[in-house]
Structure 1
Amino acid sequence: SEDRWVKASPALLAALRAQVDAMDLEGQVKEWDSEQRQLVFPTLNGRITRHGHFIEAVWQPLLSKAGLPYRTYHATRHSYATWLLEDGADLRWVQAQMGHASIEQTAGTYGHCRPERHESAVVGLDQYLSP
């Protein structure tokens, strides 16, 4: 898969920055090299966290601490796209954020979002037809 830049909220960026700073400090104490200190969620010995270990050691505890039920981070990705669209983000921009190959993939996956918004959009057409 290709690297891509995605937008993140200021609160998320602040939380990630705090985590990076904490890992840098921990890495200095443990005498990790600079590459190890750049990891956001390293293992206890400064290595890259593998998928299964991340779920067990990082993801599940984070959800538990936040008081949230377990969900995959793919489900969280789905929520991200859904909330963007519900807040009025352009479908093509969401496509780029999600890394979808086609607009059809994005529309097919998230086209069901907020059907009541579709109804209000049609009702809103009356303002253009009224004298």
Structure 2
Amino acid sequence: MPRVRKGEQKAYYSLSSIGARFNAAIKRAGIRRRNPYHTRHTFACWLLSAGANPSFIASQMGHENAQMVYEVYGAWIEELNGEQVLMLNDKLAL
């Protein structure tokens, strides 16, 4: 249903309506205020924590190559080293 604002019918989806819906969802979720751009960082960190390939993450985020992922999220990658060793030992049956 189209929105009505100040007596004038507005498009249902506009930049302001999407932002307002995003802000309302953040508030309902009870999480710290952030703008939609910040969710890119959350997305990258979650994928890294799940063990996704940095090149895949870079392509999903629209980057030309994985260099940005390594530069910005390198600390996350290093934190996963212990898990990577366990995974490799399991796969190689060592």
Give, in whole Å, the separation in 2 of the partners of 1:121 and 1:66.
Answer: 30
Q: Does 1:78 align with 2:44?
A: no
User: CA offsets per residue over residues 53-95 of structure 1, 9 Å max, x none?
Assistant: 533x212111111111201212111011110111011111111
Matched to 1:94, the amino acid is I
Unmatched tracts of structure 1, length 5 or more: 1-25, 27-42
Runs of 4 or more off by more than 6 Å in structure 1?
none
Residue matched to 2:18: 54
TM-score (norm: length of structure 2): 0.69
Superposed CA RMSD in Å reads 2.8
Residue matched to 2:7: none
TM-score (norm: length of structure 1): 0.52
Q: Does 1:68 align with 2:17?
A: no
Unmatched tracts of structure 2, length 5 or more: 4-9
Matched residues, percent identical? 25
Question: How far did 1:47 drift?
Answer: 4.8
Give, in whole Å, the separation in 1 of the partners of 2:84 and 2:23.
Answer: 43
Give, in whole Å, the separation in 1 of the partners of 2:11 and 2:79.
Answer: 49
1:84-99 equivalence runs, <5 A: 84-99=47-62
Give, in whole Å, the separation in 2 of the partners of 1:115 and 1:74.
Answer: 24
With over 3 angstroms needed to count, the CA separation of the structure-2 counterparts of 1:66 and 1:102, relative to structure 1, is same
Question: How many equivalent pairs are there?
Answer: 85
Question: How far did 1:49 drift?
Answer: 1.0
